[in-house]
Amino acid sequence: MTEAGYNFAYLDEATKRMIRRAILKAVAIPGHQIPFGAREMPLPYGWGTGGIQVTASILGPQDVLKVIDQGADDTTNAVSIRRFFTRVAGIATTDATGEASIIQTRHRIPEKPLTENQILVYQVPQPEPLFKLEPHRAETRRIHALADYGLMHVRLYEDIARLGHIAKAYDYPVMVNERYLMSPSPIPAFDNPKMHQMAALQLFGAGREKRIYAVPPYTPVRSLDFEDHPFRPIRAPHACAICGSRTSYLDELITNDAGGRAFICSDTDYCQERQEAPKAAAE
């Protein structure tokens, strides 16, 4: 049952229509940030209000929702957002990536490839990929209009000159369909290649900054790089201490104060599935 006194999925219908119109334009203009009249949500700005508004606007009773933060379903903010949707929309939730029709995420893309029947909703703190180089939004709008991204190339090249490689570890800028420079949200650069030609629709919501953008399915997404310094996804060179994966993105844990470390999968559902797979095979 949903929370008394509130509309299905919390937002009123006029707000949903406004957001839905923004989403459709975002899909039609891949990578372009659409300004929208973001509402105050009962969760703080910066804690996923953009993603929540996008999810609330697309969600229906048939959907199965998965919410992750840092790749995990059990992180406190993911729990809080999942509880919010259970309260206000009464929908089914899951931890299993394969069972979800909508996945709202902060900072990760699941390891398991997504399908055409899924929508990935990213929580975005800062939609403007150029914000550290040019804080004035009036100016960055002009830059996007002209597709004049020399500024970003110079910034990346300075890294190479100084450090020998591009030192951006997360929120690594991408070109969408070779037209718009886009922030992939603060996912680790490791996840960037998953955005390219993804079968699922990718929607991005920035509540505080009041922007929505999208990458349609099967759309080219290229991490910015240079011919002599190709993009390299970064991951800790270890195996997961639980499932043994050598290809998944790992969290580093400090296990004692004598320098003890362990590495485990950041994607908890992926890790769980790998732990269960040998058991299933044995049965």
Partner 1 sequence: MTQMTPGFADRVLDAQASFRAILEAMSRPGRVQCIEARLSPPAPLCTAAAAALLALADADTPLWHDAGEAAADWLRFHCGAPITGIIKDARFVLACGAAPSLDAPDIGTDEDPQLGATLILQVAGLVAGEGWRLTGPGIQHEHRLRVLGAPADFVAAWARNQALFPRGVDVLLCAGDNIAALPRSVMMAEG
Partner 2 sequence: MYVAVKGGEKAISAAHAWLDETRRGDTTLPELSVAQIEQQMALAVDRVMAEGSCHDRFLAALAIKQAKGDLIEAAFLLRAYRTTLPRFGASAPLETSSMRLRRRISATYKELPGGQVLGPTFDYTHRLLDFALAAEGRDAPATPEAPADTSDVPRVTEFLAREGLMQRESMAETEPGDLTREPLSFPAPRPVRLQNLARGDEGFLLALGYSTQRGYGNSHPFVGEIRVGHIGVEITPPELGFAIDIGDIGITECQMVNQFKGSRTEPAQFTRGYGLVFGHGERRAMSMALVDRGLRARELGEDADAPAQQEEFVLYHSDNIEATGFVEHLKLPHYVDFQSELENLRTIRRAAEAELREAAE
Positions touching partner 1 (CB under 8 A) are 7-8, 13-14, 16-18, 20-30, 32, 34-35, 57-61, 116, 141-142, 144-146, 177, 179-180, 197, 199, 201, 215-219
Contact by Cβ (8 Å): 196, 175: no
Q: How many CB atoms lie within 10 A of CB 133?
A: 14
In which order are the strands placed within the sheet that holds 174-176?
Answer: 180-182, 174-176, 221-223
* Nearest to partner 2 of 117, 260 (CB atom): 260
Between the alpha carbon of residue 146 and those of residues 149, 209, 245, the distances in Å are 8, 22, 44
Measured between alpha carbons, how far is 116 from 160 in angstroms, rounded to an integer? 38
55-84 footprint of partner 2 as x/- string (CB under 8 A): --------------xxx--xxxxxxx--x-
Report the catalytic residues: 31, 240, 243, 265, 271
Q: 146 touches which of partner 2, partner 1, none (CB within 5 to 8 A by kind)? A: partner 1
Provide the 8-state DSSP code for 208. T
Tell me how far apart the 2 most distant CA atoms of the chain are, in Å.
62
Instruction: Give the number of other Cβ atoms within 10 Å of residue 45's Cβ.
Output: 15
Residue 179: contacted member of partner 2, partner 1, none (CB under 5 to 8 Å, by partner type): partner 1
| Pairing label, strands 201-206, 211-215 | antiparallel
Site string for partner 2, 127-156 (x = CB under 8 A): --------xxxx------------------
Report in angstroms how near the CB of residue 195 gets to partner 1 at its nearest. 12
Residues 7-36 that bind partner 2 (CB under 8 A): 10, 12, 35-36
Q: Which of residues 245-274 bind partner 2 (CB under 8 A)?
A: 249-253, 255, 262, 264, 266, 268, 271
Cβ atoms within 10 Å of 144's Cβ, excluding its own: 19
By beta-carbon proximity to partner 1, the closer residue of 25 and 168 is 25
What's the closest the beta carbon of residue 58 comes to partner 2, in angstroms? 19
Which token pair is 207? 């509540």
Kindly tell me the number of DSSP H helices and DSSP E strands found in the chain. 7, 12
Closest C-alpha among 194, 214, 191, 192 to residue 57: 214
Looking at residues 183 to 222 of the shown chain, list those that interact with partner 2 (rule: CB under 8 A). Answer: 186-190, 208, 210-211
Output the CA–CA distances (angstroms, integers) from residue 65 to 90, 102, 213, in the order listed. Answer: 11, 5, 20
Enter the DSSP assignment of 32: P
Determine, following the binding rule CB under 8 A, whether residue 41 of this chain makes contact with partner 2. Answer: yes
60 binds, among partner 2, partner 1, none (CB under 5 to 8 A by kind): partner 1
List residues binding partner 2 (CB under 8 A).
6, 10, 12, 35-42, 44-47, 49, 69-71, 74-80, 83, 106-108, 125, 135-138, 163-165, 167, 169-171, 186-190, 208, 210-211, 234-236, 241-242, 249-253, 255, 262, 264, 266, 268, 271
